[in-house]
Amino acid sequence: MSLSLSPVLAPLRSSPLKVSWARNEKDLLRAQKLRALAFGFSPPGTPEPLIVPEQDRFDAFARHLIVVDTDRDLCVGTYRILDFRGAERAGGFYTGTEFDISALTPFLEHTAELGRSAVHPDYRNGGVISLLWSALARILMKEEIRYLMGCASCDLTDPSLDLDRIYTYLRLEAWGEEREAVVPYRHYPCLFRPTQNPTPPSLPPLLKGYVRLGARILGEPSHDPVFQTADFPVWLSVNETSGRYARHFFRSRRRSIRGGQSE
């Protein structure tokens, strides 16, 4: 397995939180154990040596961003990035295991898939995910990635989430082009109720962030019985990002790179 030895991507002088690539097998294992903790596969408070890592066949072909609290020597955030070349070696994208993505074939060569986003339960105040997104923006601009793809999950065990309202909101506010629609292999049924409560529903943080960036939902959700989630297929054209998130994470990076400043 080949892992980049790139230096820290976005150091904060006043913060113990540092974001970098996973540089070796030990770093990757820490990310996989964090995923197991964040996804509920290990109970909170489980000692790190006893956590069984969450992993799949795509890990070996992807790059992994990690955020480490250097004061505690603790991995507190991670994000997996699988580009087209990595997907070719892996036999496809992870999204392709949940959806028929053949409609996206003309775009995939310039696409990166985001997945396995995880933040430690003690650090869910927005700072860690902001670091990951800032680092991601640098990567996208440098590598001229045009599209982002992924699965945005809704936890089916969370009683605060109203899947019908979420589905209706996404259909009305963030639905993609029919010609780019993907088809779930295990469809999770949701009801479209446009005449009911007009107040925007509560969205899972990651799905909310994608929508704020201008991402489109490319079709019906898929049921993931292992993670007990309903997964929406997300598609983002980097050049069409919008809103405050985009200005902060993407457009400022474009100006920096075009101006020749060091990253």
Banded pLDDT at 250 (limits 50, 70, 90) = low
pLDDT in tens, 164-190: 999 999 999 999 999 999 999 999 999
Question: Which pLDDT belongs to residue 139?
Answer: 87
Instruction: Domain ranges for the chain, please list them.
Output: 17-258
Q: Which fold has domain 17-258?
A: Aminopeptidase (3.40.630)
Read off the amino acid at residue 146.
R
Pairing relationship of beta strands 74-83 and 111-119 according to DSSP bridges: antiparallel
pLDDT in tens, 120-131: 999 998 889 889
The structure tokens 């109720």 sit at 193
pLDDT in tens, 149-169: 999 999 999 999 999 999 999
- Measured distance CA(115)–CA(69) in Å, rounded: 21
Mean pLDDT, rounded, for 191-206: 88
Check pLDDT > 90 for residue 143.
no
- Measured distance CA(38)–CA(106) in Å, rounded: 34
What's the whole-model pTM score? 0.87
User: Which of 49-58, 72-81, 99-108, 196-205 has the weakest average pLDDT?
Assistant: 196-205
Banded pLDDT at 2 (limits 50, 70, 90) = very low
Residues across the chain: 263
Q: For residues 158-188, b (16+ Cβ closer than 10 Å) or e, as one string?
A: eeebbbebbbbbbeeebebeeebbbebeeeb
Question: Which pLDDT belongs to residue 259?
Answer: 34
* CA 84 remoteness from chain centre: 16
Tell me phi and psi for residue 19, to 5 degrees.
-110, 140
